[in-house]
Amino acid sequence: MDAEKRSFDVIGQLGALRRYARSLVRDSAEAEDLVHDALVKAYERRVTFRKGANLRTWLLSIVHNTHVDRIRSTLARKRRDDAAALEAEVSYPGDQEHAVRLRQVREAFMALPEDQREALHLIAVEDLSYQEAADTLGVPVGTLMSRVSRARASLRAFEAEGKQPNHLRLVRGDDD
pLDDT, position 176: 46
- 168 or 72: which carries more pLDDT confidence? 72
Answer yes or no: is pLDDT of 1 > 50: no
Q: Could you give all domains of the chain from N- to C-terminal order, each with its CATH number? A: 2-90 (1.10.1740.10), 96-162 (1.10.10.10)
Confidence of residue 35 (pLDDT cuts 50, 70, 90): very high
**Beta-carbon neighbour count of residue 112 at 10 Å?**
20
pLDDT, position 151: 93
Sign of the alpha-carbon torsion through 127, 132, 138, 142: positive
Sign of the alpha-carbon torsion through 150, 152, 155, 161: negative
How confident is the model over 78-104, as pLDDT tens digits? Answer: 998 888 888 766 666 657 777 787 888
How confident is the model over 148-167, as pLDDT tens digits? Answer: 999 999 988 888 876 555 55
pTM here is 0.48
Dmax of the chain from CA atoms? 82
What number is the average pLDDT over the span 60-68?
94
How confident is the model over 119-158, as pLDDT tens digits? Answer: 998 998 888 899 999 998 899 999 999 999 999 999 888 8
Contacts of 19 (CB under 8 A, 6+ apart): none
Helix ranges (DSSP H) in the chain:
2-7, 14-25, 28-44, 55-90, 96-111, 114-120, 130-137, 141-162
Output the DSSP codes for 33-66.
HHHHHHHHHHHHTGGGSPTTS-HHHHHHHHHHHH
